[in-house]
Amino acid sequence: MYEIYETKERITADNDKEAEKSRAYLKEKNVFLINLMGSPGCGKTTTLVRTINALKDQYRIGVMEADVDSDVDAETIHQLGVKVIQLHSGGLCHMDADMTARGYMRMGIDDLDVVILENIGNLVCPAEFDVGAAKKVMILSVPEGDDKPLKYPLMFEVSDCLLINKIDTKAIFDFNEDLCAERVHKLNPDMEIFALSSKTGEGFDAWIEWLKQEIEEWRKA
């Protein structure tokens, strides 16, 4: 006889412990961490820019740009005048709780109210690793198709909020918003869904209102 040892389960269980520790620490520090996830090119950075511009008068914001190896997004965020750090994963396809905590400790959070992690672009690995965030926000863009909840269910199960981005391109792509929402809610009945365009700003107000309310409720809790 020999044993079959599920090593991956061990990794995610250890990560969950780290994530809980980190979440408690951030609560103590009164820093609201958002884990922003989505495929490469879905519009994470573009959405981040517009979101920061809508929030920066009210909150002191820091951004962690996670990438395999580049720093193009950090430069974009730096131009907005908010605190930013580029995190390189060195080839890894996701951020875990420990990497995230090291990132925000390195950036420094004593002068911040909100920290946003732009996670590495993909719909698979980041879904499996709790980074200790107060809220998980995912983006699905119209050109990717309304069947993504069927193909990458875990990402839709674990997220708190779905932004359907690039609705300005709806006339070109066959994206059925109602069908998408139905598929998402079957996996995750509590998912908040906002359809918007980070390019034109259409639909953005509802997302910002929701986010501000979540931040305020979390601060009071």
Ligand X SMILES: Nc1nc2c(ncn2[C@@H]2O[C@H](COP(=O)(O)OP(=O)(O)O)[C@@H](O)[C@H]2O)c(=O)[nH]1
- Residues near ligand X, by CB under 6 A: 38, 40-46, 121, 165-166, 168-169, 197-199
CA distance 79 to 61: 13
Query: Which of the 8 DSSP states describes residue 145?
Result: -
Query: Whose Cβ is closer to ligand X: residue 131's or residue 142's?
Result: 142
- Residue 188 contact, options ligand X, Mg ion, none, Cβ 5-8 Å cut-off depending on partner type: none
| Residue with smallest beta-carbon separation from Mg ion | 45
- Residue 12 contact, options ligand X, Mg ion, none, Cβ 5-8 Å cut-off depending on partner type: none
Least separation in angstroms between residue 30's CB and Mg ion is 27
Query: Whose Cβ is closer to ligand X: residue 121's or residue 149's?
Result: 121
Least separation in angstroms between residue 216's CB and Mg ion is 27
Residue 146 corresponds to which tokens in the numbers above? 């309304």
Query: Whose Cβ is closer to ligand X: residue 19's or residue 196's?
Result: 196
CA 183 from chain centre, in angstroms, equals 20
With tokens 């998408």, the residue in question is: 180
CA 151 from chain centre, in angstroms, equals 19
- Residue 51 contact, options Mg ion, ligand X, none, Cβ 5-8 Å cut-off depending on partner type: none
- Residue 38 contact, options Mg ion, ligand X, none, Cβ 5-8 Å cut-off depending on partner type: ligand X
Least separation in angstroms between residue 118's CB and Mg ion is 6
In the chain, count H helices and then E strands. 9, 7
- Residue 89 contact, options ligand X, Mg ion, none, Cβ 5-8 Å cut-off depending on partner type: none
- DSSP, residue by residue, 79-97: TTTSEEEEEE-TT-SS--H
Q: At what angle do helices 44-55 and 204-220 cross, to 10 degrees?
A: 60
Contact 53, 80 (CB under 8 A): yes
Positions touching Mg ion (CB under 5 A) are 44-45, 73
